[in-house]
Amino acid sequence: MNLKDFIKECHEKEVFKNLSIYIVSSWVLIQVFSEIYEPIGLPKISMTYLLLALLISFPFYIYLLWRYRLKPLETRYKNRDGIKVTSKSSDGPEDENGLKKKKVHLPGVRLLSPFQRMYFSALFVISLVVLLSASLIVRANFIEQEDMSAFTFPDEPDNDRIAVLTFQNNTADPNLDVIGNMAVDWIMHGITQNKVGQVISPQIVEDYTNVLKAAVIPSEENGVLKEYLRPSKVVKGTYYLNNGRLLLQCSVMNGNMNRTLVSFEQVECDADSPLDCIENVKQRVLGYLGSRGTKIIGIEEKPPNFNAYKLWLESYDLQQIQSPDQLRTINEAIAADSSFFRPKLDRVAYYYNRDEFAIADSLLQVLAAETGTKREQLNMIQHYEACFKGDNRTAFKTYKEEYNSAPKEIEMNLSMMVLALQFVNMPQAVDTIYAVIPQEDFDLDNCISCEYRDFVQGMANLELGRVAETIEMLKPYANTAGQEWIKEVLMKAYVLEGDHAAVADLMEHIRLLGRIEYWQLMMLKTGLEYMKTGNKAEAMKYLTGVTAFQEQRGRQLSQSERELQAETAFYMEDYDRAGALLEALLPDSDDPLGMKTYLAMAYLKNGEEEKAQNAMLEVSEMRSEYQFGEVDYNLARFHAFKGEEEVALKYLLQAVAAGKRFTSTTFHNDYLFQPLKASPEFRKVLNFWNEG
């Protein structure tokens, strides 16, 4: 088929007519859209999107035209004409001429007509032209476009402008209009005084409306706000009387006034004392506006009183510097707003973090009884309940749900890291959590939480065998004052790296800073780290060094220093001396479980097995609430020291099941358990909470 015949057949089959319908319809759509896209708030780039969609759809339309209109015509044509064939057995022209022509249809075989071949060839060419045109449009409007804001659809205004509209008087008494004016003035004053945002008053809205009307521009209150003033939020309210009582309602809407962000509880007061209602509403409005964008607003049943919120912010800041005044401000925030959930939860955390578990648990039970049905609140209560029960997996799971809602909040991020490492022993999870907040975002000299994050990340690195990476990350802390937790991790990394000079320099720096008791502890820990690597000679340098210092000080040593002295003697295998020191120290010790266990092990080595057994019997009888496996852990240490590995592993499993944490000195980091580390049963202990 030639081109002339193809065009003729297209005319006969109304191909051009159908194509013209698509082209004309597209043209009309483009003309209409060019007039309406701006009034309905779409960006200019919307026209480009539409043009691309119509252009790319054109080849599909041509194919659909064939599929549903032309193909049926072709099929009917074939059925009518059939296919002429001859018999394969015919011997000559006479036989062929004698055969009767008949229609043959071949199942499953498509026979392309000349028109169909020409049609799809034209479709292929058109598709290439469309693709080329579309690529040029994309390149001109997207790839080479410098102003990327052209592609964004308009969002709600993102600014600090807050419009306060006139409160509607539904009392039917115009003399009470003054209440609405008072409410607006009171709220605007609170916003300005507390620097919550920039206020747009009803007077400003009215002035703009009057100017626009004078300019013969259609306008109304909503239009002026959305098109010209563009606040991020709008405060509006209404009030009415009921049996002599004033009822005041208020809500906050988004800047486009098409969605209510929060509707506050109705406030009721004496009609002669409207300021009581107005002050209550103001506090709720300011509490919402001030806390908007922070995690706190998501956990509250309703926005907090603003004074209470300010006190909570103060307590949060005090927590960062570990100020003793934190508890005072928490209690003041609760007193200012008894429905404020967050400070009540913080009070539980305050006592929990100081190991005052009985107080924390009793406060949690009171809080649980007060709490309604809000999922976030119930989740956090369940988290702390799991903590008190030693159910580390549930504690991790429930906090993770909370963490996912605000992963960049530093305290929440740090807590999630601690839970991953110390509660469920998942050092690999710490990496992901740590990376959420870039380290350059912080002033490390004024951020205690940042130090803790580096400590936890450093410990996780060591658990994963990344010693060099740990040194690279923590080396800047080597010569600073403070950051004691980090220096412990750095010491461990230096020991594992075999950098004895760096270890010695670090210990000397700590000694020169004057924290003598901390230096003694670090000397003992350094000796133990070397003993874990099998370098007993290097270990003894640090153990004998701290022992000589302690002997020189004699009676000047404090209780905690004498306990360190006893532990050092124990690990130096001077069991006679260790036993004598421990016997004298035990009555005043703050750690009777640990000290008695050391004493029992000293008795064992001194051949006083009956005394050792009696001491451990006393340890076993020291069980009480909120120990989180401490008794079983000390029993495991004793039996591991005695060489009874199977019994030790049994107690270790009980200890971890009761909530004993994985720290820098427990389980696989405990020198006494080094002989057990290779056993499958010990790995089961380490993976107890992260299995399944």
| pLDDT tens-place string over residues 3-42 | 888 888 888 888 888 899 999 999 989 888 887 766 565 6
Q: Does residue 248 sit within a domain?
A: yes
Helix (H) / strand (E) containing 270: strand 267-270
Q: Average pLDDT for residues 609-621, to the nearest whole number? A: 96
What are the structure tokens assigned to 669, written together? 């980091």
CB 462 within 8 A of CB 489: yes
- Mean pLDDT check: name the lowest of 114-118, 339-343, 666-670: 114-118
Q: Indicate whether 13 and 135 sit together in one domain.
A: yes
Residue 532 vs residues 308, 495, 496: alpha-carbon distances, Å: 52, 10, 10
Q: Indicate whether 137 and 267 sit together in one domain.
A: no
Q: Indicate whether 146 and 183 sit together in one domain.
A: no
Q: Does residue 122 sit within a domain?
A: yes
CB 487 within 8 A of CB 507: no
Q: Report d(CA 626, CA 659) in Å as an integer.
A: 9
Helix (H) / strand (E) containing 485: helix 484-497
Mean pLDDT of the chain: 85
Looking only at the bridges linking them, the beta strands covering 198-200 and 267-270 are unpaired
Q: Report d(CA 89, CA 258) in Å as an integer.
A: 83
pLDDT band, residue 295 (cuts 50/70/90): low
CB 308 within 8 A of CB 287: yes
Q: Does residue 146 sit within a domain?
A: yes
Identify the CA nearest to 184 among candidates 274, 99, 266.
Answer: 274
Q: pLDDT at position 441, please?
A: 55
Q: pLDDT at position 212, please?
A: 59
Q: Report d(CA 130, CA 60) in Å as an integer.
A: 11
Percent of the residues in the chain that have a pLDDT greater than 90, as a whole number: 50
Q: Indicate whether 210 and 265 sit together in one domain.
A: yes
Q: Indicate whether 119 and 245 sit together in one domain.
A: no
Q: Report d(CA 449, CA 321) in Å as an integer.
A: 9
Domain CATH for 173: 3.40.50.10070
Q: Report d(CA 290, CA 196) in Å as an integer.
A: 6
| pLDDT tens-place string over residues 556-602 | 899 999 999 999 999 999 999 999 999 999 999 989 999 999 999 99
The last residue of a domain, from among 259, 277, 294: 294
Range of the domain at 478: 465-554
Tell me if residue 261 falls in helix, strand or coil: strand
**92 has pLDDT over 60:** no
Q: Indicate whether 122 and 171 sit together in one domain.
A: no
Q: Indicate whether 56 and 15 sit together in one domain.
A: yes
Q: Which DSSP state fits 405? A: T
Q: pLDDT at position 555, please?
A: 84
Q: Indicate whether 167 and 230 sit together in one domain.
A: yes
Q: Indicate whether 144 and 257 sit together in one domain.
A: no
- Contacting residues for 36 by C-beta, under 8 A, at least 6 apart: none
Give me the residues paired with residue 253 across strands: 234, 260
pLDDT band, residue 213 (cuts 50/70/90): low
CB 179 within 8 A of CB 167: yes
Q: pLDDT at position 430, please?
A: 94
Q: Average pLDDT for residues 431-441, to the nearest whole number? A: 80
Q: Indicate whether 177 and 125 sit together in one domain.
A: no
Percent of the residues in the chain that have a pLDDT greater than 70, as a whole number: 86
The total of structural domains in the chain comes to 3
Alpha helices, H only, 37-70: 45-65
| pLDDT tens-place string over residues 516-551 | 999 999 999 999 999 999 999 999 999 999 999 999
pLDDT band, residue 72 (cuts 50/70/90): confident
CB 479 within 8 A of CB 513: no
Q: Report d(CA 41, CA 464) in Å as an integer.
A: 53
Identify the CA nearest to 608 among candidates 572, 632, 636, 582.
Answer: 582
| pLDDT tens-place string over residues 152-180 | 444 455 678 899 999 999 998 888 888 88
| pLDDT tens-place string over residues 100-131 | 444 444 344 454 578 888 888 898 999 999 99
Q: Which residue has the higher pLDDT, 667 or 100?
A: 667
Q: pLDDT at position 109, please?
A: 40
Q: Average pLDDT for residues 590-616, to the nearest whole number? A: 95
Q: Average pLDDT for residues 197-219, to the nearest whole number? A: 69
Q: Average pLDDT for residues 437-461, to the nearest whole number? A: 78
Q: pLDDT at position 85, please?
A: 41
The last residue of a domain, from among 554, 570, 604: 554
The last residue of a domain, from among 499, 532, 554: 554
pLDDT band, residue 143 (cuts 50/70/90): low
Looking only at the bridges linking them, the beta strands covering 260-263 and 245-254 are antiparallel
**657 has pLDDT over 80:** yes
Q: Does residue 341 sit within a domain?
A: no
- Contacting residues for 669 by C-beta, under 8 A, at least 6 apart: 662, 663
**149 has pLDDT over 50:** no
pLDDT band, residue 445 (cuts 50/70/90): low
Q: Does residue 220 sit within a domain?
A: yes
Q: pLDDT at position 185, please?
A: 85
CB 402 within 8 A of CB 374: no
Identify the CA nearest to 661 among candidates 459, 448, 513.
Answer: 459
Q: Does residue 136 sit within a domain?
A: yes
Alpha helices, H only, 321-439: 326-336, 341-353, 357-370, 375-389, 392-403, 410-418, 427-435
**423 has pLDDT over 90:** yes
Q: Which residue has the tokens 């009470």?
A: 176
Q: Does residue 621 sit within a domain?
A: no
This prediction has a pTM of 0.65
Q: Does residue 363 sit within a domain?
A: no
Q: Indicate whether 212 and 139 sit together in one domain.
A: no
Q: Indicate whether 145 and 14 sit together in one domain.
A: yes
Long-range contacts of 37-43, Cβ-Cβ distance < 8 Å, separation of 24 or more: 41/154, 42/153, 42/154, 43/150, 43/151, 43/152, 43/153, 43/154
